[in-house]
Structure 1
């Protein structure tokens, strides 16, 4: 993430939703569906008839068959939309835009499908076909998923490993974010990628929002649908809104999730947007913005060396995380609804000097390299976004995504695209619009989205509590609201209460930072040996004591050693069970939180372990240090060291 993520405007998770628990810490693994693409062709319209048109100068786009590149629901067919790379250039070469169509088998199937594309720019989309079909939109409409031109499942694929390699290389540099050495390395990687794509015949000027929007409109006509419902998230809210204005007759409704309006200035506003999100989180954790500033200053003055794995080579590497780096990571992390509850505790801990959570953050560096196609991302951002920003130095935190994007765009030297209209006129946007936003979204703040929605003809806005970026992935109420709107765009009744948050942010003192659970989950199983050994010895103590007590019940005489052994075993078993249940309860509701720490209440269970240890030592003293009495005492001592000094 740090120094390798494109700007925080993408949605790349594969089949997320209520069953997805890993959040941002495993987003990279979910998002990176690195499967081989198989190339063939499918002629198909909505009714299954072939399209006879040929692409090229003045020709209508055509459809080609192509096996689905990822797992999709039964009844889904995939293909390519063949279109000109640049519609403004006669005889422009053909490119292929990936898409998938899931046809509803419902008896009451509606004639107008939902068409979706992910954000980014450069995020893949087809992997979400199953989620959109099963969890979001019901089963009475076809679901169409279209890739962005140049994305992973389109051809050409505009990846840029040269930039990725350069970005990772800057992690070893000792300077601050945006130093000349870093900019030079990024610019060199950008130049190498641009030169390679140019040699392959790619015209980067064809990869802009207006062309992406035109692909959407062309796909509707090629598939033979009279109308459909447009659904965009993050960056694709721009392209879908542009598609709605370019194809008003074919647009029944528009859903804009985490709205990124054309009039916003992403780079110039990035620092203020993060501050706004932190301020909102600060309502649950007083003083959070100040603690965040302390953390950034501390790490900028003394960058933290963190050992992790190079996401490109798989080899060990030491990163040097500055405060600006960590701020960039947390900006990305706050997109995730299951990360938000622990962000304040993490910030507070690092500000106090506890650097252990940084290992968790460093391990996620590869996510940004796998989640977007950098060539497409920068082609869009360098033409449609960067030229409309000033890139003025706003002080710290200086997000690396801003300075890196500026360096790449300067190296590429692409011309500025024609600015899209900030607000489409009512005459060209007649369809009703639903805009949804997340309370804690640091990339597309709800305040800006609400203000922009008020300028859209026929639009209404809904904000969802406790949610970050991409409401439809994070909020059940958000999904219900979107589904109800698509079913009846003119209806105004809310199907649920958007003020009910999925997770509550941990308050001060409620969460304890520890890397123990994360390290165990990433392969360090041996760290559980003290816990397991203590449980086994305590169980033996309890079993032995209960057995003796049962035999001597008639005599009504219980020796002190038996009583102490029984109570020691009972306290030890109770401790292990309570601790395990406490951790498991968090794992069931928000597994991501365990990557950072555990509820503070769990740490108090250690008093039972202390009681068990004291009683075991007392038994050892009364039995004159016999070996079988020494084992529980030693196990308890080891457990206490592990519990209080490590966990």
Structure 2
């Protein structure tokens, strides 16, 4: 009996051990330079089957006995019966952007693999968090004045120095927050989690540490995805102006973009809106270079890209009321990162390698400000070897026998990491192939369903070149100048439907007028003009609703209205004139003045405000 029980217990223990191995890979021995991992509650909503933790890493691996910092990460365990052994580890860019919020999308896109999302050291969910809210507020402040970027840099520099001093009082060594250390965190994490191999996936700036991690850990790297590839040797600031111009040329509005920048640099425009940080009402004054910076941010958002050509055309035509739409949509992107981490990386790994030429084209104001902040922070420049493009090599005899395959994704309208440069850089990577996707800018995976399907297919079989979809086909067409009647009032209607009250009242009054006139006609009373007026008003309301409902992309309604509304408005004019004649005939009832008043209000609203 005892032997039977002992055998049963042994069998159950073995089964549990096997199951644990399948569900949660065992931690490996402590990786070189590492200090382990620590569990923690997840700081953001995550899908079921997700656990969160900290990687305990040295703040500076080049300094003996450096203090330990905490790098946040999350692991989603796949519950698929055909679960693949190699997970995908994902890192967002910036630098200073958060990653954990993307884990749900990754888990849905790659259901048969574990998904690991890693924050950057110093990021939003890591410790210490290199947050500098004073810098973000100072950047918003630069948009409330009309001076050139160079004259506006000092308030930001002043707040950046205050943040640097505060971080140093907290014993943060900013020299430890750079690309080489972020890459080393990825290598260390694989060892701590115990995966034999995994797939590396980086977006934007994160393609740099991801590629460096692949080069440092060839045996542990199965495949690499570089979305919006930023080669290590690229001079981002020096290339910013021509890259931005190239993106708008690809959108078909290169000339109009240059015209609006020149126009607003000569005569800045002001408007009232809300501070993206405090939500307080502020007056924003934008120059052409300010608008260029906001448009650069807008091209990171796939939802905004379709309306950008019409928006640029309207701004170039002098419809400066459209600036509120642009600021509200793109402004928050300028203040969403952890600015202490951003400048720690940029001041060591990027700014010192640029010359900041005096471009004649648009100059995003962030470049001027970043150069001034880095001059004040005085962090050491990265070694040239750390700036060289890391090339993944073949693993050792016990690991892979060839360099890991690499997929490089580029967005056609990417102003930060242009697809032309990414294609050229991909050609220098062994085993790399490049795909350009229409309809998106920066961050293909986040903005393109075809991009997500391409990543999924590549990770399923890195050696296959079969495309699961056509990357040259955009999911949403561009809204080109002329396809909508551009008007700033359209955005007001979208954000505040109460602005539709004149149209709603006119439609109701017209319907009542028509019904009352038909009843009067059935009773053989004189009401022909009222019937025609009511019919014209109802037709106008119906055609207007139909034209709006059949707009191919509802996003167009935030920047303009269907052009046919100009002609449909003639029906409203006819209805108002007929109602006026009927209201002033002999023996007319006082109530008949109501259609006249609603018609006059509608015409003032339509031609004086909406289409004005």
Q: TM-score, with normalisation over the residues of structure 2?
A: 0.90
Post-superposition offset of 1:318: 1.4
Q: Is the 8 A contact 2:242 2:361 kept in 1?
A: no
Post-superposition offset of 1:174: 3.8
Most deviating of 466-475 and 118-127:
466-475
Post-superposition offset of 1:67: 1.0
Q: Is the 8 A contact 2:146 2:287 kept in 1?
A: no
Who is 1:319 aligned against?
284
Within 5 A, what are the aligned runs for 1:45-64?
A: 47-48=23-24, 60-64=34-38
Distance in 1, matches of 2:267 and 2:448, equals 38
Post-superposition offset of 1:617: 2.4
Who is 2:398 aligned against?
none
Shift in CA distance, 164/370, structure 1 to aligned 2, threshold 3 Å = closer
Who is 2:59 aligned against?
85
Q: Is the 8 A contact 1:45 1:224 kept in 2?
A: no
1:486 aligned onto 2:444: no
1:158 aligned onto 2:110: no
SS at match of 2:527: helix
Most deviating of 525-534 and 607-616:
607-616
Who is 1:8 aligned against?
none
Post-superposition offset of 1:51: 5.2
Q: Is the 8 A contact 1:254 1:434 kept in 2?
A: yes
Who is 1:3 aligned against?
none
1:244 aligned onto 2:218: no
Distance in 2, matches of 1:48 and 1:477, equals 31
Who is 2:444 aligned against?
471
Q: Is the 8 A contact 1:311 1:365 kept in 2?
A: no
Q: Identify unmatched segments of 5+ residues in structure 2.
A: 1-19, 396-401
Shift in CA distance, 566/595, structure 1 to aligned 2, threshold 3 Å = same
Q: Identify unmatched segments of 5+ residues in structure 1.
A: 1-43, 283-287, 553-557
1:363 aligned onto 2:363: no
Distance in 1, matches of 2:22 and 2:325, equals 46
Who is 1:253 aligned against?
223
Distance in 1, matches of 2:423 and 2:146, equals 41
Distance in 2, matches of 1:604 and 1:76, equals 56
The aligned length equals 583
Within 5 A, what are the aligned runs for 1:266-281?
A: 266-281=236-251
Shift in CA distance, 329/60, structure 1 to aligned 2, threshold 3 Å = closer
| Residue-by-residue CA offset, 1:158-197 (whole Å, 9 max, x unaligned) | 0112222322333344421222xx2222221111111110
Q: Is the 8 A contact 1:306 1:362 kept in 2?
A: no
Within 5 A, what are the aligned runs for 1:497-536?
A: 497-522=470-495, 524-536=496-508
Post-superposition offset of 1:627: 1.9
Aligned pair partner of 1:185 in 134, 155, 167: 155
Shift in CA distance, 199/54, structure 1 to aligned 2, threshold 3 Å = farther
SS at match of 1:178: helix
Most deviating of 512-521 and 488-497:
512-521
Who is 1:569 aligned against?
534
Distance in 2, matches of 1:88 and 1:227, equals 26
- Is the radius of gyration larger for structure 1 or structure 2? 2
Within 5 A, what are the aligned runs for 1:590-629?
A: 590-622=553-585, 624-629=587-592
Who is 1:130 aligned against?
104
Which of structures 1 and 2 has the larger relative contact order (alpha carbons within 8 angstroms, sep 6+)? 1
Who is 1:338 aligned against?
303
Distance in 1, matches of 2:352 and 2:223, equals 31
Shift in CA distance, 458/577, structure 1 to aligned 2, threshold 3 Å = same
Shift in CA distance, 100/605, structure 1 to aligned 2, threshold 3 Å = farther
Q: Is the 8 A contact 2:483 2:562 kept in 1?
A: yes
Distance in 2, matches of 1:307 and 1:324, equals 19
Q: TM-score, with normalisation over the residues of structure 1?
A: 0.85
| Residue-by-residue CA offset, 1:257-295 (whole Å, 9 max, x unaligned) | 11111121110000000111111112xxxxx32222221
Distance in 2, matches of 1:196 and 1:330, equals 33
Shift in CA distance, 434/272, structure 1 to aligned 2, threshold 3 Å = same
Aligned pair partner of 2:113 in 119, 125, 141: 141
SS at match of 1:434: strand
